[in-house]
Amino acid sequence: MSFKTRHSAGLFLFAFLGGMTAQLLLSVAPVLAEQRVWNRYFAVSDATNTRGVETYVQNGATAQKFNDAEGRVRIQMGTYSGEEDKDMPMFALSDKDGAVRLLVRLRGQRQTPVIIMRDGDMRDRIVLGLEDGFGEEPFLATFDASGQQTLRFSKLQ
For residue range 77-129, what is the model confidence (pLDDT) as tens digits?
999 988 888 899 999 999 999 999 999 999 988 999 999 999 999 999 999 99
- Strand duo 124-130 + 138-143: pairing: antiparallel
Domain ranges of the chain: 1-28
Q: What angle do CA 50, 53, 105 make, to 5 degrees?
A: 145
Instruction: Specify whether the CB–CB gap between 148 and 156 falls below 8 A.
Output: no
Distance, CA of 12 to CA of 36 (rounded, Å): 37
Helices (H), 59-124: none
For residue range 116-143, what is the model confidence (pLDDT) as tens digits?
999 999 999 999 999 987 688 999 999 9
